[in-house]
Structure formats: C-alpha cells, structure tokens
Structure 1
Amino acid sequence: MKEHFQLKETIVTIVTDRESHIKRAKESIHHNRAVLERFIALDPFFRSTLEPYATVENVPEVVKRMILAGNSMGIGPMSAVAGTIAAMAVESMVAAGATFAIVDNGGDIALINDRPVTIGVYAGTSPVKDLAFQMPVHDNITGICTSSGTVGPSISFGMADAAIIFSDDVSLADAAATALGNATQVGKEAVEKAFDAVKHVTGIKGAVVIQGEYIGMWGAIPEMVEAHIDYDCITKG
C-alpha cells in the first residue's frame, strides 16, 4: 500500500502493508510536527540558525534528535528535520507491528524492509540517469537521505545534484547529506574532496555524490542497479 500525505511543509510518501500502519505514520507526523512547532514558537532561533545549537537538556525527543544530528555535522538542527520526522513515523509503524515500512520525506527516507526494495535516485538535470540502490533486507530502521543544490527548495551552499548518505541514524543521515551537499563543488576532484565532510563521522556507513556527469562513492553502499525512474513516484509538492 502506498499513500501520498501532506501536512503543511511536510510532504511524504508512506509505503507499507496495512492501512493501520499508514494511520500510525500520519499520527506520528501530526504529533511530532506539533511538538516541533511549539518549540520553535518559544525559540525562533532554532529554526533559523545554520550553526550548531547548544541546548540539548529538557527538550522534546524530536528536537533532541535534530540538535544532536546537526551538531555532529557542525550545522544547524533544521538540517535534520525531514529525516527525523520520517524516522519517528517509521518507529511508530514498527511499534504497531510493521515489518515493511517506508516513509519518504522529500528524498529523506527511513525504512525497515523484510524484503529487498529498490530505491531510485533523482539528480535533476544531471546526465546520470536511471540509477537505483538495491536495498537488502533490514530488520532495523535505516536511512537513505539526499540533499541537492540544484533540486528542491532546501538550503544548500554546494553544487551537488544529489548528495546521498546511508546511516542507521536517519537524523544523522539527513544532516550529513546537507553537509555533504554543502561541500560539493564543480568537477571530478571537487566531488572526491567533498567526502572529507563526512568521512570522520561515526555512524555514517557510506555516501554518494552526483554532480553533473560525475559520480563519486565512499564507504559501504548498497548494490547500484539500473532502473527506470518514474518522475511521478518522486515525493514532491
């Protein structure tokens, strides 16, 4: 079962086996967005800062995860918002009994899969097309998060068409994808150098950068396969 769901700026695709699990994901998104909005209302700096956020005591779980992820990468907590919302939605689905659950929050994906699944890559106008990752079975929640300087509305200071991070910490994957995208400039050497932004961070399994005609890889990544990428399947507003 697959459902497209939007709540304000949060636009997700939810994939699972049962309607009840989709319902749990939506409830999680509603709850955690409301918690986050209340926190931002009390401290608007949390939303605007591009630097690490100091306070981690006595904050809600969704906020804490975002802070820790952003701080790990030396950037602001909002860099991890999509991945954190997605991860907590999948956690809620798992608590309801799901063994196959995917939440794609605008290219920041949290999943647990009791069967292999193919995750396509969209890199905008890059000539690198029809590329996908064959994800093996996972009995734990894992993350695949993507940032881009050429696709979508998110802030990026780099030129990556797609900066992709693999990590079992989905919040970290989201923040790290932002940092990797920020570090990516134009050309083959710049793509290879960009990985310096993430190589030192514990918890990151692997990374991929697509910039123009260049593609770079670092660490452990799933098998890459050719696949027709259907634009209509991309989670977007």
Structure 2
Amino acid sequence: MIREHFEFRQTIATILADEPRHVAAAKAGMLAARHEVERQIALDPYFAATFEPYAPKDPERTVARMVRAAGEAGVGPMAAVAGAIARAGVEAMVEAGASFALIDNGGDIALVSDRDLTIGVYAGASSLSGRIAFRLPPKSDILGICTSSATVGPSISFGVADAVTVFAPDPAVADAWATAICNRITADDTSVLDALPGTGVRGVLAIIDDAVIRHGDLPRIVRAKVDERLITAGRPDPR
C-alpha cells in the first residue's frame, strides 16, 4: 500500500492507494475541487467568511455539495470544504480504476475499500485519545468519516468536545455535521443529535473529556494504540 503526503495551500492530506496512478488521480481530483472553491471565493468573498448557511448563484459541483451539506447542518459552507475535496479525490481514484482509495484531509476522510480498515480516534487530552478505533468492513461505495474538535487543531469551533466523528455516505455532509455537532454538544446536552434523522448521517461518536456519546449506526469500536505520526494535521479554513 502507498501512503503519500500531499499539500496544496490549505489542503494538507494523506493519500492511501495501491497504485501510483491512483495517487496521481487523487491529487488531480483534489486540485480540481480546490480550484472550484477558489473561483467561488474570488467571485464572492462572503462565501469563505460566513458561519451561516449561504447559497451562491449557479455553484460548481464541489461548491454545490458544500452549500447543500452546510445548509442542512446550519453552518457556513466552508465547514464542508475538507470533506468535499476529499470526496472529489476519491471519486477521481475510483474513475481511474481503484477499488481501494482513502484520503485523509486533515481529519476528514473519504474512502472506498476492498479490505478491512482500522481508523483510529485522536481526541487531544482525553484519556481515550489514541486508545480506540473503528473497525470498518469493506465498503464499495464512498463513505465519509469526518472529525471536528474544539480542543485539537487550528479549525474554528464554538464547542467543548475533544472529538466529534460523523459517518455519512457524503463526506461533505459528514464534515458539515461534525462541525455543527461539535459546536453545540456537551456531556449534559445532546439535543443537537435530534436533528439528524433524514440528513444522511449514519452515526456519531463524541468524546468530551472522558465521556463518550454514541448515536446511530457506528462501526465496531476496538481497542487501539494510535501512532500520532500518522495523523494528518490541517490548516485553518481561509475565513
């Protein structure tokens, strides 16, 4: 298996693939998606600045995915940018013939897989950080696994959770809802989860200090020892 680091401006990603041509396809797909987002920002800087849902006129495909996902989650469209770009990269890999394709875009993952995978959970100072993981069976359709944190990394959050991981078929949806849930959830108030039916979100795992909140359909959780050197650290969104 090939593991390759990729950086372009704010996009900092890890690509996992079986063949070099699939890595090249991932980079091309992510770059094309980034250019769509950059064109939108150049035309309308408010698109990158707002923390509220926003619907520009005639968006391109990646931007449209961001807008739709963020609108449902009640956040700004840039909250879905990492998941949407990761999805574009994996789609390009699949179009190039890949049956195994994974892009970790700063903690926001898109994948298809012909094998079992173990995805570790990093949750900052929580005692559970690096000690648990999801065990995923093979998945022929794209799956998004996106994580937001109020205590780890440079992304803007208004919450307190150490990690909120969201599973959804659309990585942009998983990304937007990870942000929305992380902004609002606490150990004593999980009411934000009541809004999830009908959104496409399949499951949520939230870690707040040593408290664990589970919701929906999650993969099997196993004990693990996460190698922090494999974590893909991202830069803040350009807001």
TM bucket, shorter chain: over 0.9
Is the CA contact (8 Å cut-off) linking 2:72 and 2:199 kept in structure 1? no
Q: CA RMSD in A?
A: 1.2
Q: Which residue of 1 aligns with 2:237?
A: none
The 1:8/1:201 distance shift into structure 2, 3 A limit, reads: same
Matched with 2:219 is 222
Q: Which amino acid aligns with 1:210?
A: I
Where do 1:186-197 residues align within 5 Å?
188-190=187-189, 192-196=190-194
Q: 2:188 is paired with a residue of what secondary structure? A: helix
Alignment-derived partner of residue 44 in structure 2 = 43
Question: How far off is 1:184 after superposition?
Answer: 2.0
Contact 1:163–1:207 under 8 Å retained in 2: yes
Per mean C-alpha deviation after superposition, the further-off stretch among 26-35 and 211-220 is: 26-35
Q: In the alignment, is residue 231 of structure 1 matched against residue 232 of structure 2?
A: no
| Aligned residue identity for 1:220 | D
Runs of 4+ in 1 over 3 A off after TM superposition: none
The residue type equivalent to 1:88 in the other structure is A
Q: Any stretches of 5+ residues in structure 2 without a counterpart?
A: 235-239
State the alpha-carbon separation in 2 of the partners of residues 68 and 138 from structure 1: 24
Q: For residues 201 and 153 of structure 1, do their structure 2 counterparts lie closer, same or farther at Cα, with a shift above 3 Å needed?
A: farther
Determine if the alignment matches structure 1 residue 160 to structure 2 residue 161: yes
Task: Tell me if the contact between 2:70 and 2:76 (Cα under 8 Å) persists in the aligned partners.
Answer: yes
Using the size of structure 2 for normalisation, the TM-score is 0.94
Deviation at 1:193, TM superposition (A): 3.7
Match of 1:61? 61
1:99 maps to which residue? 99
SS of 2:166's partner is: strand
Deviations 1:8-60 (A, max 9, x none): 110000001000000011111222212211210110000001111133x4211
Preserved contact between residue 16 and residue 101 of structure 2 (Cα < 8 Å): yes
Contiguous gaps of at least 5 residues in structure 1 = none
Give 2:68's aligned amino acid. Answer: L
Q: Does 1:125 align with 2:125?
A: yes
Partner of 1:189: helix, strand, or coil?
coil
1:164 alignment partner, SS class? strand
**Equivalent residues of 1:145, 1:174 under 8 A apart:** yes
Shift of 1:195: 2.4
SS at the partner of 1:204? coil
| TM-score, normalisation: structure 1 | 0.95
Count of matched residue pairs: 232
Distance 1:194 1:211 in 2: 15
Map residues 65-144 of structure 1 onto 2, 5 A cutoff.
Answer: 65-129=65-129, 130-144=131-145
Q: Percent identity?
A: 47
Spell out, residue by residue over 1:197-223, the C-alpha distance to the aligned partner (whole angstroms, 9 max, x if none). x43342110101000010110000000
